[in-house]
Amino acid sequence: MKNSGAAFRLPASLVKRAVSAALSEDLGEAGDITTDAIVPPDSISEAHIVSRKEGVIAGLELAKSSFEALDPTAEFRAGLVDGERIARGAVVASIKGKTRALLTGERTALNFLGRLSGIASLTARYVEAVSGTKARIACTRKTTPGLRALEKYAVSAGGGVNHRFGLYDAVLVKDNHIAAAGGIGAALGRLFARRGHLVKIEVEVDSLEQLQEVLAFPIDAVLLDNMNAATLREAVKSVGGRTLTEASGGVSLENVREIAETGVDLISIGALTHSAPSLDLGLDWRR
Amino acid sequence: MKNSGAAFRLPASLVKRAVSAALSEDLGEAGDITTDAIVPPDSISEAHIVSRKEGVIAGLELAKSSFEALDPTAEFRAGLVDGERIARGAVVASIKGKTRALLTGERTALNFLGRLSGIASLTARYVEAVSGTKARIACTRKTTPGLRALEKYAVSAGGGVNHRFGLYDAVLVKDNHIAAAGGIGAALGRLFARRGHLVKIEVEVDSLEQLQEVLAFPIDAVLLDNMNAATLREAVKSVGGRTLTEASGGVSLENVREIAETGVDLISIGALTHSAPSLDLGLDWRR
Amino acid sequence: MKNSGAAFRLPASLVKRAVSAALSEDLGEAGDITTDAIVPPDSISEAHIVSRKEGVIAGLELAKSSFEALDPTAEFRAGLVDGERIARGAVVASIKGKTRALLTGERTALNFLGRLSGIASLTARYVEAVSGTKARIACTRKTTPGLRALEKYAVSAGGGVNHRFGLYDAVLVKDNHIAAAGGIGAALGRLFARRGHLVKIEVEVDSLEQLQEVLAFPIDAVLLDNMNAATLREAVKSVGGRTLTEASGGVSLENVREIAETGVDLISIGALTHSAPSLDLGLDWRR
Amino acid sequence: MKNSGAAFRLPASLVKRAVSAALSEDLGEAGDITTDAIVPPDSISEAHIVSRKEGVIAGLELAKSSFEALDPTAEFRAGLVDGERIARGAVVASIKGKTRALLTGERTALNFLGRLSGIASLTARYVEAVSGTKARIACTRKTTPGLRALEKYAVSAGGGVNHRFGLYDAVLVKDNHIAAAGGIGAALGRLFARRGHLVKIEVEVDSLEQLQEVLAFPIDAVLLDNMNAATLREAVKSVGGRTLTEASGGVSLENVREIAETGVDLISIGALTHSAPSLDLGLDWRR
Amino acid sequence: MKNSGAAFRLPASLVKRAVSAALSEDLGEAGDITTDAIVPPDSISEAHIVSRKEGVIAGLELAKSSFEALDPTAEFRAGLVDGERIARGAVVASIKGKTRALLTGERTALNFLGRLSGIASLTARYVEAVSGTKARIACTRKTTPGLRALEKYAVSAGGGVNHRFGLYDAVLVKDNHIAAAGGIGAALGRLFARRGHLVKIEVEVDSLEQLQEVLAFPIDAVLLDNMNAATLREAVKSVGGRTLTEASGGVSLENVREIAETGVDLISIGALTHSAPSLDLGLDWRR
Amino acid sequence: MKNSGAAFRLPASLVKRAVSAALSEDLGEAGDITTDAIVPPDSISEAHIVSRKEGVIAGLELAKSSFEALDPTAEFRAGLVDGERIARGAVVASIKGKTRALLTGERTALNFLGRLSGIASLTARYVEAVSGTKARIACTRKTTPGLRALEKYAVSAGGGVNHRFGLYDAVLVKDNHIAAAGGIGAALGRLFARRGHLVKIEVEVDSLEQLQEVLAFPIDAVLLDNMNAATLREAVKSVGGRTLTEASGGVSLENVREIAETGVDLISIGALTHSAPSLDLGLDWRR
């Protein structure tokens, strides 16, 4: 398989673990009682994964692994790589292998591929909507529990950029942190005292006043929360390139371009991962 | 917490395992580096989970566990039970506990609650759309890998019924099973020979001719795949109550009532789980 | 290896997990300190698994995997498939591979094969005892903790049928459920309201009076608990084919035929799994 | 709970892990669909575990944990400790707690307790049969895969002694080790060269000639395999107390006393663990 | 317990998992066969953890958990918090609880506490050696496999700062990356194209020429590898505050101050984690 | 790879598990974001693991597995086997495979190999220091939590012998056991009553008086704790070969020979595992 269009690679062990958990969930202890009772063990079939809608593909490695886990000799040939656009009705991949493996693995493979492609496809629509501006589209931590790495990967395949992966790899200071610390100075003071030199710091603000306060500190990015386009524009002007600017809150396909044109560096959108509909895919049998 | 409106209970160990995995995913090895650096360990806060949209709630136990895993003394009080409808702006639950636990657990709790409530809310809209008919709304195996039990639970909380949980707990015979066996007779013959007496058998058909063939066997349900309303009506008439009838394929909020009025017993809808948008929830701090 | 005579296939991942756990249990952290110290790493041997008693074989895949996990190049050739009868003194399988792997894996392979074949053999004796009647022999949930799927598989290989796999895949209503609900009507009413359409319902009764009450509901099976042959006969007559009948309690090889001749559809026997002696197998070395 | 009569304690984490795995196996993902649908969550019940046969109890901690895992407030009161004898019809323990927990946990608790008490009971019969001789009754590695520690514990509760726990904690040299090494001298030479000073060495012999050869080395025990009573007596005499003697192979309740009277120190019996019938236990409800 | 002096908190679930794994490793399946055989279950003892050397403490939470896992009622009182200095002979903590838990948990508790305190103590010596300069002491990824988070925590407790936690949370470009990419421009070009906005980039150089090349890019830090003090001084001057400077390679307690005085921002030292001797701690019994 | 010089083999599953855990720790969820962004997937490289110091190698199998887990086609050729001595600057092994795998796996491979070789090297120095005496050098349970088996293996590769692996495989009676039992007689009485016949018993004493008391029992070894050479000599004389003698406490490279010359059988040294500095190894790229 060619190199994916995504910005990072899913560790192979993570792919294997995700597929193994999904198959176990579907097989339980008795396995596929329909297929095992009916289909002869030596029967071989061929099928195509076909896209019933236009979109962007992500998750081919997971689909491939779903079939290979059940039949190590299965041949999975993808006609494109993650991050590529697919037309309605086009073939995503062909699989040839044991009929039992194709029948048993079908749903797991399509569940992964449909969900990740759905996220990549929605991301690509946002990316396209802001094309020509300098704004990049970013995801958030509003991901499906247990699937964050896969969903971040799909956003990346769709042309978006990844925000922090979790609470552990970057600092994002919010209102309630500041309140609990007794003020922005106290909060940031504690952070700068001992954080690692490779950890970035972003601070969330929801007014231009807060923004002024925050700009007194050498932070890496500022999150402009729930501001309208006019306020965002003013904020970007205030910042004057001293730090990265990220707009967040209430973003939709309708207003994303207007937001992008305010000059912000990033626009982060929870819906990319928490509300993207699956890409409609099917398995067409060719015997 | 009162008894949920769902048809089954999530095993407590499953809730614990899901919450623990989600928190680990978010905390990594360094933990919440923002909160731990800024917020004093003995600070106590109170917050409300508020719904920003109208919907049906599901997953309260998971939200509760997310906070309790971080602060065993946290008090989580829900104002309603899973399966109940919530108005836009209403309070879902209040939490009082360590500020650190509230800040660190917020995203995990809302990710669970938002996703499951989104599924319950969409299910409830379908259930309402067919009210007065005998049709019940069912989910499918098109679920998010690793979250099937939680998503089936959410469908149930929304008033839907559950299809089989996996390949292991009921038989569903499709085209390709029949083709691989060399005909419907051979396929069903093998099944009836030795299956357990508590395992039900459903067969998928996509034409009235196939339906006739299948009705010769004492099956428990027939899946009428991708038929229009007229054909469904005829199929239901043919069956004459000898077995349960399930309509599937191309169902939307627009056409679901028309399908229900054909007299089918069940309507199964993949979108309930693979494409439901999250319910928009927020954490409002009250100190 | 040919297709097993059992009614379902053990998922390959389940076999792998069971074998890996058993080997870890036997190897601990220091491994096989006898073999590793004494036997040269390149030594090759050949051995036969031989049955010291007459019986029915089950679990060949587990024995094979036990050796292959230690030596992926080992050749394991079985002379029969699961579910076939073996004579006293006959060869079950031959293994050729590294001497170390044969010595280290011997006990794990035989422990699996002996236990499962013991269950299959006992099941086969019951099946034979009722041959000619319509009664099928079923297992229960009285299985060894952690080994249920393997033991259900062995029952199936021995010609028996499987009862439910756990509390999750079928409903079995007992006395204490009914008492806690406040009566049979209340109990069944709650069940029929929302259970999935692919879930079967069985109810346990211990008198003919209870049986009459229960027959008012469209249940799938009735468990006739601890009734003598005369009562069973009367119960079967009362049911008149409206539902499946299962006899349970106090069944032995001595009385099973008498019970079968009462006309019940199923006879379930806990001893198949909780008290079957292992089939006596040995490893004969042939160098 | 009082201290058990067994020679070692099961680590608490091992008990918890075993119970958790067994409950997961029984609950699957949907949980106890019968109980959860029918029984009100606040219903409280009381029940007695009663022995339907005479025997020796082992595994109370596992039964207790099975109920407590489902209802942490459940009260489990045992009337005796592991290793004590129980009369037919006597109460083993009483449990008071949520009706749901009692119904859901019943089978898991009884499966553990029945199996381990079965092993303890059989062991006690052998121990009694040799009473007055110096022979101790020992188990082997012929245990149920995954349950070895529990089964060794049960043997100990029944008055037996434990052989090695696995391949890792003691050396047992067999024919095929010696053959692969090219002779007894080579085999033992390699062992004595570098083994840890706290590792014991036992060697299996099946003739008096082999015994003589082996006695030239400072081994800790000799396994006299498949010898009749006369040969055993002669072997014991030859050894003359220089090392421990263990008889093994073909031992039954009929011949165990005769074997014991040959003067051997230990008699090891695979059937203690691989073929002990469960002790027949039931849960009697008292509301 | 008071708040630790370390820069981050170990997630509680990580502490629990580490302790549980360590206890399992020590207990195996038979548990503490010495203590369980000899010590009565109700015996209570008290003991002090005492430091036999001067040093800095880290890992108190792990020691506490080791005892509490075995006796939930044990009282563990620490006289200081992680990061504090302890004198030779001083009491680190007192524990009162079941004698069995104290004897069984002693080694696990001391192994954690000794190792982490050893790392904290060595770090503190380096930190002290550079005091008054602006240089901070940092660890590397040269940690004990499986213990990275714990060891990074110990470095932090000793007054050091943490480098990246793994390959996943920051970019560090080395020679071989650049060579494989075909030059520094190609390498950094690919990185800047799509990396997340919260990911920092550091580049390793081993000559002043390479440094010049690298300074053309907006990187966050430069790793000056294996340079002597004179070269480091020149490098720091070249950089002129445009990016952070880190010295690495061949650092010892003898030369660390000289390196610090070159004006570098950070000095990273693998030996902090891969070669720190344990702090010598003992458990003194007080009954 | 040739057979290692160590006294036991690490079970292959244990090696695989350790490597997989270490790689997961280093890769997190996003993987090696530097390498994956910069290095083309089809790039192939070759490198040598070189020793920067003189020492004894241990852990080659772990290094090999670290690369193979990332690139199954990687060729790892070791120039020596575990337990062999390597000169400063000599090549330990060469690896050829995907550049990505070499860059990503380098640190994990070296962390394992450096740590285990450090232990083997320190052990070898002690072994050499006592050469010509009958004393063997043994490790203790003062190992890194989670790595005990690997570290015991390294001691063995360095020519040392292994003490017990944990609390489960041998008995070691200390002061506090005896005090809790109410005297040495009571303590040993309980042990001898029922321990398995393959479990050895060692007792710790810290005076010649205690030694006399202990010698009244048929124990396997006596631990002479913290005695000076003169006392040790007297103790050895008292024992007169009736049991093994082990010296422990305060052992260093300076005094170990003096201790050995007292005639003790074993000298156990915690520092072998808790304070051995890593062997300094590097990866030299050869393209």
Instruction: Express each pLDDT in A244-264 by its tens digit.
Output: 999 999 999 999 999 999 999
Q: What is the pLDDT of residue D2?
A: 45
Q: Do B28 and F28 touch (CB under 8 A)?
A: yes
Summarize the confidence of residues F245-262 as an average pLDDT. Answer: 97
Question: In the predicted model, is pLDDT for residue B121 greater than 90?
Answer: yes
The CA distance from B158 to B126, in Å, is: 9
- Identify whether the C-beta of residue A50 lies closer than 8 Å to the C-beta of residue A281: yes
Q: Which residues of chain F does E166 touch, with a Cβ-Cβ cutoff of 8 Å?
A: 25-28
Min Cα–Cα distance to chain E from A99, Å: 39
Sequence-ordered list of residues with C-beta below 8 angstroms from that of A92, at least 6 positions apart, any chain = A48, A49, A50, A51, A57, A60, A78, A79, A80, A86, A113, A281
Distances in Å between the alpha carbon of F207 and those of F175, F211, F258?
11, 6, 19
pLDDT > 70 in chain C, percent: 98
Question: In the predicted model, is pLDDT for residue A201 greater than 70?
Answer: yes
Residue among E26, E99, E271 minimizing CB distance to F180: E99
Instruction: Express each pLDDT in C242-253 by its tens digit.
Output: 999 999 999 999
Residue among B7, B197, B202 minimizing CB distance to C198: B202
Residue among A3, A12, A14 minimizing CB distance to F29: A14
| Residue in A225, A234, A261, A280 annotated catalytic | A225
pLDDT band at D284 (very low <50, low <70, confident <90, very high): very high
pLDDT band at D287 (very low <50, low <70, confident <90, very high): confident
Lowest mean pLDDT among B24-33, E263-272, F6-15, F114-123: F6-15
The CA distance from F254 to F257, in Å, is: 7
Closest by alpha carbon to B268, among B229, B228, B207, B226? Answer: B226
B182/A226: higher pLDDT = A226
**Which are the catalytic amino acids of F?**
107, 142, 174, 204, 225
Q: Which residues of chain B does D33 touch, with a Cβ-Cβ cutoff of 8 Å?
A: 8
Q: Do A30 and C149 touch (CB under 8 A)?
A: yes
Question: In the predicted model, is pLDDT for residue A270 greater than 80?
Answer: yes
Nearest CA in chain A to D29: A25
Question: In the predicted model, is pLDDT for residue B2 greater than 70?
Answer: no
Nearest CA in chain D to B166: D29
Q: Which residues of chain E does B31 touch, with a Cβ-Cβ cutoff of 8 Å?
A: 8-11, 14
DSSP state of E74: -
Min Cα–Cα distance to chain D from E159, Å: 36
The CA distance from D152 to F221, in Å, is: 26
Q: Which residues of chain C does B14 touch, with a Cβ-Cβ cutoff of 8 Å?
A: none
Instruction: Express each pLDDT in D149-158 by its tens digit.
Output: 999 999 999 9
pLDDT > 90 in chain B, percent: 89
Distances in Å between the alpha carbon of B100 and those of B95, B106, E194, F158?
12, 10, 33, 48
Report chain D residues touching chain E, CB-CB < 8 A: 3, 7-14, 148-149, 152, 162, 165-166
Q: Which residues of chain E does C21 touch, with a Cβ-Cβ cutoff of 8 Å?
A: none
Q: What is the pLDDT of residue A2?
A: 45
What DSSP assignment string belongs to F22-34?
HHHHHHTTT--HH
Identify the bridge partners of residue D51 per DSSP, sorted by sequence position. Answer: D281
Summarize the confidence of residues F189-199 as an average pLDDT. Answer: 87
Q: Do F36 and A9 touch (CB under 8 A)?
A: yes
Q: What is the pLDDT of residue A265?
A: 97
Distances in Å between the alpha carbon of E117 and those of B63, E73, E110, F111?
37, 26, 10, 20
Chains touching chain D through at least 3 C-beta pairs below 8 angstroms are A, B, C, E, F
Q: What is the pLDDT of residue B4?
A: 59
The CA distance from C82 to C112, in Å, is: 13
Summarize the confidence of residues C16-43 as an average pLDDT. Answer: 95
Instruction: Express each pLDDT in D113-153 by its tens digit.
Output: 999 999 999 999 999 999 999 999 999 999 999 999 999 99
Summarize the confidence of residues D56-66 as an average pLDDT. Answer: 98
Min Cα–Cα distance to chain F from B74, Å: 30
F163/A6: higher pLDDT = F163
Summarize the confidence of residues D6-11 as an average pLDDT. Answer: 82
The verdict on whether A225 is a catalytic residue reads: yes
Residue among D3, D11, D13 minimizing CB distance to E41: D3
Nearest CA in chain E to C25: E29
Q: What is the mean pLDDT of chain C?
A: 95
Backbone φ and ψ for B95, nearest 5 degrees, come out as -130, 135
Distances in Å between the alpha carbon of D258 and those of C227, D235, D263, D266?
44, 15, 10, 13
Instruction: Express each pLDDT in A61-101 by its tens digit.
Output: 999 999 999 999 999 999 999 999 999 999 999 999 999 99
pLDDT band at C6 (very low <50, low <70, confident <90, very high): confident
Q: What is the pLDDT of residue B287?
A: 72
Mutation target to probe the E interface, by most E beta carbons within 10 A, among B16, B23, B29, B43 is B29
Instruction: Express each pLDDT in B196-237 by its tens digit.
Output: 899 999 999 999 999 999 999 999 999 999 999 999 999 999
Report chain D residues touching chain B, CB-CB < 8 A: 20, 23-24, 27-33, 36-37, 40-41, 69-70
Q: What is the pLDDT of residue E2?
A: 45
Question: In the predicted model, is pLDDT for residue F3 greater than 60?
Answer: no
pLDDT band at A124 (very low <50, low <70, confident <90, very high): very high
In chain C, count of helices (H) and strands (E)?
11, 12
Residue among A30, A41, A69 minimizing CB distance to C165: A30
Q: What is the pLDDT of residue F7?
A: 73
Rg (CA), chain F: 22
C130/D10: higher pLDDT = C130
Q: What is the pLDDT of residue D286?
A: 86
Q: Do A20 and C9 touch (CB under 8 A)?
A: no
| Residue in D16, D85, D96, D174 annotated catalytic | D174
Question: In the predicted model, is pLDDT for residue F5 greater than 90?
Answer: no
Residue among C198, C220, C246 minimizing CB distance to B170: C198
The verdict on whether D142 is a catalytic residue reads: yes
What DSSP assignment string belongs to chain F?
-PPPSSSSPPPHHHHHHHHHHHHHHHHTTT--HHHHHHS-TT-EEEEEEEESS-EE---HHHHHHHHHHH-TT-EEEESS-TT-EE-TT-EEEEEEEEHHHHHHHHHHHHHHHHHHHHHHHHHHHHHHHTBTBS-EEE--S---TT-HHHHHHHHHHTT-B---SSTTSSEEE-HHHHHHHTSHHHHHHHHHHH--TTB-EEEEESSHHHHHHHTTS--SEEEEES--HHHHHHHHHHHTTSSEEEEESS--TTTHHHHHTTT-SEEE-THHHHSPPPP-EEEEE--
Residue among D7, D164, D197 minimizing CB distance to F198: D164
Lowest mean pLDDT among B201-205, C69-73, D186-190, F152-156: D186-190
Mutation target to probe the A interface, by most A beta carbons within 10 A, among B17, B29, B38, B178 is B38
Summarize the confidence of residues A15-40 as an average pLDDT. Answer: 96
Distances in Å between the alpha carbon of C250 and those of C224, C228, C272?
12, 9, 13
> Which residues, given as ranges, of chain E have pLDDT below 50?
1-3
Q: What is the mean pLDDT of chain B?
A: 95
Report chain A residues touching chain D, CB-CB < 8 A: 25, 28-29
pLDDT > 90 in chain C, percent: 89
Q: What is the pLDDT of residue B5?
A: 67
Q: What is the pLDDT of residue D4?
A: 59
Query: 3-class SS at E44?
Result: strand
**Which are the catalytic amino acids of C?**
107, 142, 174, 204, 225
Q: Do C30 and F165 touch (CB under 8 A)?
A: yes
Question: In the predicted model, is pLDDT for residue C1 greater than 50?
Answer: no
Instruction: Express each pLDDT in D171-206 by its tens digit.
Output: 999 988 998 888 899 999 989 877 789 999 999 999
Min Cα–Cα distance to chain E from C28, Å: 8
Q: What is the pLDDT of residue B195?
A: 79
Question: In the predicted model, is pLDDT for residue B273 greater than 70?
Answer: yes
Closest by alpha carbon to B33, among A196, C121, D49, F151? Answer: A196
